[in-house]
Structure 1
Amino acid sequence: MISVLAEDRVFLDYGPIEMMLMATSPDKNMTVQMQEAAKEVMTWLSQLSKVLDQAKDVRTLNHPRLLELPLPLRWMVEAVLETGDKSLTPMAAVAGTFSDLVADRLVEDGAHKVIINNGGDIAIRLFGSERTKVGVTPSIGANRFTHVIELSSTSGVGGVATSGRGGRSFTKGIASSATVLAQTARVADSCATLIANHCFTPDPHILQLPAEELDPQTDIPGHCVTVKVGELSPEVKRKALGNALAKTNELVTKGIIQGAVVFLDEFVGMIPNDLCYPLNKKGGS
């Protein structure tokens, strides 16, 4: 359930959560603190399970007393509200929220560098001269990354999240992957979902079905989600990618996210243009 992999790494496998915790401090070994934070995840997950119906209900975004909600659900609601899109439910931010909860707990415990990877939704906390690199994959489930993002304590990035076809959740779009950088992992998570959803344009070769036909317990009944994508013309791909980048630009302009990179098969676009670099540049490896 909780495995110590090294003095700076702990792995948690509990229910729906598979989380890698990494934390370091110049003053102490953080292994015990990471184990305690992993145990706290179980408590937070229990809290959320008791209000799961609210977490899956879009009407919870209009809850009149957010402070009365359990902390995980409150952070999920606040993150989705920040996107400005009321079609998302709080579940759009669930993975990123748990990454943030753990990361902030470890910072409180004295960590100077924290990386929490919850199934690809990553919370990052860097202080002082700390730096890190994040690999970006061209598709969900890819076993390699093709681009790299460099981050420092001055980057203003506290979360990196990816959404798209083949992910753990449904998508309304056709993006191979949409990776978002934001101040928190929970906002990056919800915005990655939103941008991936916007990577779409109607085409006969795209099969979509109501989400409830695929999962009766879905949090987005009545929404059509992508089931299969056939052979698409370059024009269709460019239009879909353009729609995703338009939403990215809107979110960046509003200061909600720092940027995003979107892949659609052989096409890729990013805002800003220097968000990340291919492995064959800058000596990436």
Structure 2
Amino acid sequence: MITVLSDERVFLNYGPMQMVLAASSKRNKLTEELQDAAGYAITVLEELAKVLNLAKDIKTVNYPDLSELPLPLRLMVEAVRATEDKTLTPMAAVAGTFSDLVADWLVEKKATKVIINNGGDIAVRLLDGEVTKVGLTPSIGAPSFTHVVSLSSGDSIGGIATSGLGGRSFTKGIANSVTVLAKTARIADSCATLIANHCDADDPGIVKMPAEMLDPNTDIPGHMVTVKVENLKAETKRQALANALVKAEELRSRGVIQGAAIFVDDLVAMIPEGLCYPINS
């Protein structure tokens, strides 16, 4: 369940959660704290499980008094509200919320560099001049990354999340991957989902089905989700990418996200320009 990989890294495998916790301090080792943080992640998951029906209900986004909700669900709702989208449920921010909570827990334990990777939804906390680099993949499930983004303690970026075809959640679009940078992982998570949903266009090569036909327990019954993409026209890919960029630009103009990188087959677009760089450059 909890495996110590090194003095600064722990792996948690519990139910739907596969999380790599990495943290360091300029003063001492945090191996014990990392194991405790993994235990805290389990506690948060069990807390959310008690209100799972609320978490999967789109009406919860408009819950009148968020103080009545348990902390993880409250943060999920706040993240989805920030998108101003009417189709996302709180579950659009679940993985990023878990990453944020664990990362903040470790900062309280005096960690100065924290990277929590919850299945690709990453919380980053850099303090006291710490820096790091994070790899971006051109598609969900790619064996390696092709681009890199450099982060420092002055960037105000605390979350990186990726969504798209082949991910753990359904998508309505055709993006191979959409990676978003934001102040928190939960904001990045919900916005990556939203931008990936907008990376879409009309084409007979895009096959969709109602979400509930693929998962009876889905949080988005009645929504058409992409199940297969083949023989797409070049114009379809360009239009889908353009649609995704419009949504990403809107979110960035409102200060919700700091940037996004979108991959559709061999097409790549990012805002702002220079957000990340190819590893072979």
TM-score, length of structure 1 as denominator length: 0.98
Match of 1:231 in 2: 231
| 1:155 partner amino acid | D
Give 1:1-285 correspondences, 5 Å limit.
1-281=1-281
- What runs of 5+ residues in structure 2 fail to find an aligned partner? none
Superposition deviation, residue 218 in structure 1: 0.5
Q: Return the alpha-carbon distance in structure 2 between the equivalents of residues 176 and 111 of structure 1.
A: 34
Give the Cα separation in 2 of the matches to 1:13 and 1:263.
29
State how far apart, in whole Å, the 2-side matches of 1:218 and 1:182 are.
26
Alpha-carbon distance between aligned partners in 2 of 1:188 and 1:268, rounded to the nearest angstrom: 19
TM-score between both structures, scaled by the size of structure 2:
0.99
Q: Secondary structure at the match of 2:20?
A: strand
Structure 1 CA distance for aligned equivalents of residues 227 and 201 of structure 2: 15
Q: Secondary structure at the match of 1:29?
A: coil
Q: Identical aligned pairs, as a percentage?
A: 65
Give the residue type in structure 2 aligned to 1:280.
N
Report the CA distance between 1:259 and its aligned residue.
Answer: 0.4
Displacement of 1:83 after TM fit?
0.7
CA distance in 2: counterparts of 1:140 and 1:235, whole angstroms: 22
The 4+ residue runs of structure 1 with deviation greater than 2 A are none
Report deviation, 1:129.
1.6
Task: Report the AA paired with residue 23 of structure 2.
Answer: A
State the SS of the aligned residue for 1:218: coil
Displacement after TM superposition at 1:207 (Å): 0.6
Partner letter of residue 17 of structure 1? M
* Secondary structure class of the residue paired with 1:268: strand
3-state SS in 2 of match to 1:178: strand
**Residue 213 (structure 1) shift:** 1.0
Letter in structure 1 aligned against 2:253: T
1:7-59 Cα distance to aligned partner (Å, 9 max, x none): 11111111110100011011111111111111011111111101000000000
Question: How much does 1:202 deviate?
Answer: 1.2
> After superposition, what is the alpha-carbon deviation per residue over 1:111-152, rounded to whole angstroms, capped at 9, x for unaligned?
000000000000000012210000000000000111000000
The one-letter amino acid of 1:83's match is T
- Stretches of structure 1 lacking an aligned partner (at least 5 in a row): none
Alignment size in residue pairs: 281
Provide the secondary structure at the position in 1 that maps to 2:27.
Answer: coil
Q: d(CA) in 2 for partners of 1:114 and 1:42?
A: 18
Residue 179 (structure 1) shift: 0.2
SS at match of 2:77: helix
Q: State the one-letter code of the partner of 1:250.
A: E
CA distance in structure 2 between the aligned counterparts of 1:36 and 1:241, rounded to whole angstroms: 42
Letter in 1 for 2:156: G
Offset, 1:107: 0.3
Distance 2:179 2:270 in 1: 9
